[in-house]
């Protein structure tokens, strides 16, 4: 499978963590929404606090998962551009 275009923008060794971080970002977003009183609904309704993306990450439409990946990639790119190094500890 070819790399997603956005993943070409970060070092190969970081591409493997994008999906995990995207899932964590979604779960954090969903948890915050639930704490604010939102529940699942088939369509977004701000007044009723319903949102169709209040599902586990694996159940999101691909377009929503891609949005989360792009957010993560943007954050990783920003860290690298600011001069930070992201390394993995050997165990």
Range of the domain at 52: 17-81
CA 3 from chain center: how many Å? Answer: 17
The whole-model pTM stands at: 0.84
Residue 24, domain member (yes or no): yes
Mean pLDDT of the 38-66 span = 97
| Domain count for the chain | 1
The answer to whether residue 22 scores a pLDDT higher than 60 is yes
CATH classification of the domain holding 45: 1.10.490.160
Residue 3, domain member (yes or no): no
Residue 89, domain member (yes or no): no
Residue 30, domain member (yes or no): yes
Dump the DSSP string for 33-76.
HHHTT-EE-SS-BTTTTEETT-S-GGGS-HHHHHHHHHHHHHHH
Residue 11, domain member (yes or no): no
The predicted structure's pLDDT at residue 30:
98
How would residue 9 be classed by pLDDT, with cut points 50, 70 and 90? confident
């Amino acid at each position: 499978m070819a790399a997603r275009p956005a993943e070409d923008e970060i070092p190969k060794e970081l591409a493997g963590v994008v999906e995990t971080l995207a899932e964590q970002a979604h779960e954090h977003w969903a948890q915050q929404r639930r704490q604010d009183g939102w529940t699942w609904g088939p369509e977004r309704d701000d007044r009723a606090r319903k949102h169709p993306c209040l599902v586990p990450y694996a159940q999101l439409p691909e377009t929503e998962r891609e949005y989360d990946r792009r957010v993560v990639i943007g954050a990783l790119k920003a860290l690298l551009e600011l001069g930070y190094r992201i390394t993995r500890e050997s165990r």
